[in-house]
Chains A and B, each alone.
Chain A
Amino acid sequence: MSTRELVTGGAACAVSGSSSSSSNPLGALANALIGSSSKTQERLKEIPNAAAATSHTQFYDDPVAALPGSELDHPFLQSNAQGSDFIRGFRTAHDNGLADAWDEIQRQPHLDRVYNAAPAPPIQPTLDGPPQRVLSSFLHSFVDSSRSGIPLHPTPLPLLGLSQGDKQCIRDRSSIMARHFFADKSEEFINSQVNALLSSLEIDSDSHAKGPMPGRFRELEDYWNESQGILKPGAHAADGWVTEFSQHRAQHGDPDAWAHSFEQQHGAGGWASEFEQNSKFLQFVSKMSRGELIIDDNQVKPASGSWATEYQQQFNGGASWADEFVHDEVSHGPAQWVNEFATEREQEPVDDQWVNEFSKLHVDDWTEEFGRQVGEGALGDSSSDNWATAYDEFLNEQVASKERSDASTGVYVFSDMNPYVGHPNPLKEGQELFRKGLLSEAVLALEAEVMKNPENAEGWRLLGITHAENDDDQQAIAAMMRAQEADPTNLEVLLALGVSHTNELEQAAALKYLYGWLRHHPKYGTLVLPELVDSLYYADVARLFNEAAQMSPEDADVHVVLGVLYNLSREYDKAIASFKTALKLQPNDYSLWNKLGATQANSVQSADAILAYQQALDLKPNYVRAWANMGISYANQGMYEDSIRYYVRALAMNPKADNAWQYLRISLSCASRNDMLEACDSRNLELLQKEFPL
């Protein structure tokens, strides 16, 4: 389907093969309204394969502007004025002069001025004159009725010679438009308006109705389905566009050839026309976002519900979804896109594909334009920014994902540009820095040490501990694993591994290490029966630990390990009791205070948790983990403003604490400090510190 046909009529309503050469006034009108902004004119100049220069492409611009999200871009409540303007321009057009009229409309200066235009008095439709004129004036009055709120009366019209395709088109478009015009009116009003319009035009509004479902929802589905009707039978409706592409691809092995053939098939405006097809998709999506359609088993079903009232709510939802593309910085050439597409086709479940597809569109300039417009204009709500920045973050995550995947598979990631490499005794240096509380510096020194001596268990161990205190469990685990390789019986290493895995909610692994602690303990190792090693059940391990505790109640370590174990099983009261016992024996162990606090926090005793964290911080002021935990406890209590300060403090000490960045972001948006989201995403610590001092 090509947008060329839109102008000439027919195919816009997805009645494939329609070669009606009579203009499609309603379709044109709808497209004009949808795409009505002079800004959109420039949009598609840069779209690949979109030939510029001819006046015909101007036509494509507007309909193509019905791109994901653009429909929702405009304040439809004001579109009435635009509508009348267009109709005015339109009415001056003859059949062949449609092109000129279109150009004229496009050349109008910013349509902002029409927003200020006073509404014209309702105009009675002229009932004589050529069919097109009649139709257009009738439509004009339909539009006007929206502004004046006067219900449209069914008017007997002379035979307009509308084909079935035209009628369906008008039916669909008018119902959609009616919803836009009358978004603030009741459902009944909308229905009556549309019915009046349709009955005057002798369009059967229910021809596709099935059962009790409202006709227009079914219409849209049919509309959608029909548009995909030319594709492989059995293809899921949402696949249609996708399968079409794959068909093209199958025909031309070479990716570039595909692009060329695509261009051939669809003409200069081909790329643009594909977007036009997206306008159906767009409508589909906007229906979805309005809650009219229910996704059930990946089938789309209409939902009942007050569409009109939800519309405004969802206004932002749909557009912000579209905003995703605004910030798509991943550029794929056409070939790559096609390749990816083809491979994905085989691998991924089909439903996901079209979704993934859109996220890879190479439409930088368009999206920039669009993004600017969205940012300036209609939305005026931070949710779209959230989307955009969310997407930015997603991309950042992609970029950083290799690093992360290394760490998550237990591979330690060394820092670049380590000033301590070459230091005569980096281990000592590292220990000193650690003692002083300069955790990030200590990390660097210790890294230099283990680069020099990879078998140095102590170096790895301390590195692991430092990372844990710096609130980076991933690196902590990686370092500790190396330490364990170097020294498999080291109890501190085993405990630290147990703790880190508990934090990562890796219960089985944590249990293994804590059990290992018991096994390798000189005193309690005897308690362990060899056959238990393979199938570890929590209950058994807990029992053993309790026995150990009874053996030597003065051993703080046992209580600590018990505390961690109880955290695993979420028996928080017992965990708290164990930690308190341990603390009585070792009151100056800052990490114990933190453990106590964290346990209390996880059992939602946030006020107590904060007290415990404070104790830890008194003992060790640069304890990044404790700062971050403080932030968490405030945030969980809904005290977002405070939590922000603590997060910023933690991040100032360790800018690499990814957890804290994420939590900071959440707190910022909860505290409605979206102005700082930009700073958060760009990790602008300076600005954040200035803004949120402690």
Chain B
Amino acid sequence: MANTELKSDNLFEMMKIHLATDAGKELTKKIGLVYQINIAPKKIGFDEVSYVVDLKKGEVTKGKYEGGKPDAIFSFKDDDFIKVATGKMHPQIAFMRGAMKIKGSLSAAQKFTPDIFPKPAKL
């Protein structure tokens, strides 16, 4: 396990598996957009790792989106992404505080809400 592990990796792993379940398939029906999420460990824009959450096909892949242009691209710091995905921070607030940067269609971005992501259970 490298030291460049991000906390967010866990969430994306869960998301990947989640999308294969029934609940996950519901998501693809409900949203049907492609998001690219760039996570930076310390500061937005530096050492970013990209994930593509494809809610059309229902898969999560690491790396930038190859099949065209994603509907929305987000940039977060690692910690902030966790906060938004687990509902600790509202996406609107994150945006207003600059903790979340958005590129692309704002309407697509607005559909990106905490309830998309499955929550991690506690050991």
B98/A352 in contact, CB under 8 A:
yes
Residue from the list B22, B87, B93 in contact with A638, Cβ < 8 A: B22
Give chain B residues whose Cβ lies under 8 Å from the Cβ of A112. none
Interface string of B76-93 (1 = CB under 8 A from A): 000000100011111011
Q: Which residue of B lies closest to A599 (CB)?
A: B123
Residue of B nearest to A661 (CB): B87
The reply to whether B93 and A394 form a contact with Cβ atoms under 8 Å apart is: yes
What residue of chain A has the Cβ atom nearest to residue B82's Cβ? A505
Cβ of B90 and Cβ of A394 under 8 Å apart?
yes
Residues of B close to A393: CB separation below 8 A: 90
Partner of B120, one of A355, A499, A602: A602
B93, B106, B115, B122: the one within 8 Å of A471 (CB): B122
A507 CA to B87 CA, complexed, in Å: 21
Contact A604 B14 (CB under 8 A): yes
Contact B121 A597 (CB under 8 A): yes
Q: Per-residue 0/1 for B98-123: is the Cβ within 8 Å of any A Cβ (1 yes, 0 no)? A: 10001111111010001100111111
- Known interface pairs A349-B98, A638-B26; A505-B115 also in contact (CB < 8 Å): no
Are A601 and B121 in contact (CB-based, < 8 A)? yes
Query: Within 8 Å of chain B (Cβ to Cβ): is A431?
Result: no
- The yes or no answer to A684 lying at the interface (CB within 8 A) is no
Number of interface residues of A (CB under 8 A): 76
Q: Note all chain B residues with C-beta closer than 8 A to A288.
A: 106
CB-CB under 8 A from A602, the residues of chain B are 10, 14, 120-121
Would A567 and B5 be within 8 Å (CB), given that A291-B105, A602-B14 are in contact? no
Q: Which of B13-40 contact A (CB under 8 A)?
A: 13-14, 17-18, 20-23, 26
Contact B122 A609 (CB under 8 A): no
Would you call A505 and B107 a contact (CB within 8 A)? Answer: no
* Secondary structure of the A contact surface, majority rule: helix
Q: Which residues of chain B are within 8 angstroms of A537 by Cβ–Cβ distance?
A: 1
Measured CA separation A662–B9 after assembly (Å): 21
With both beta carbons as reference points, the residue of chain A lying nearest to B107 in the complex is identified as A291
With A394-B90, A471-B122 as contacts: A666 and B106 at CB distance below 8 Å: no
Chain A's nearest CB lies how many Å from the CB of B6?
A: 9
Residue of A nearest to B79 (CB): A505
A294 touching B104, Cβ below 8 Å: yes
- Residues of A near B104 (CB, < 8 A) are 294-296
A662 near B88 with CB under 8 A, answer yes
| Chain A residues positioned under 8 Å from B90 (CB to CB) | 390, 393-394
In contact, A502 and B96 (Cβ under 8 angstroms) = no
Contact flags A581-607 to B (C-beta < 8 A → 1, else 0): 000000000000011011101111010
Q: Which residues of B contact A594 (CB under 8 A)?
A: 123
Besides A289-B110, A317-B106, 4 more A-B contacts (Cβ < 8 Å) are A291-B105, A321-B92, A594-B123, A602-B14
Residue numbers of A with Cβ under 8 A of B are 288-291, 293-297, 303, 305, 310, 313-314, 317, 320-321, 324, 348-349, 351-352, 355-356, 359, 387, 390-391, 393-394, 397, 471, 473, 499, 502-503, 505-508, 537-539, 564, 567-570, 594-595, 597-599, 601-604, 606, 609, 625, 628-629, 632-633, 635-638, 658-659, 662-663, 665-666, 669-670
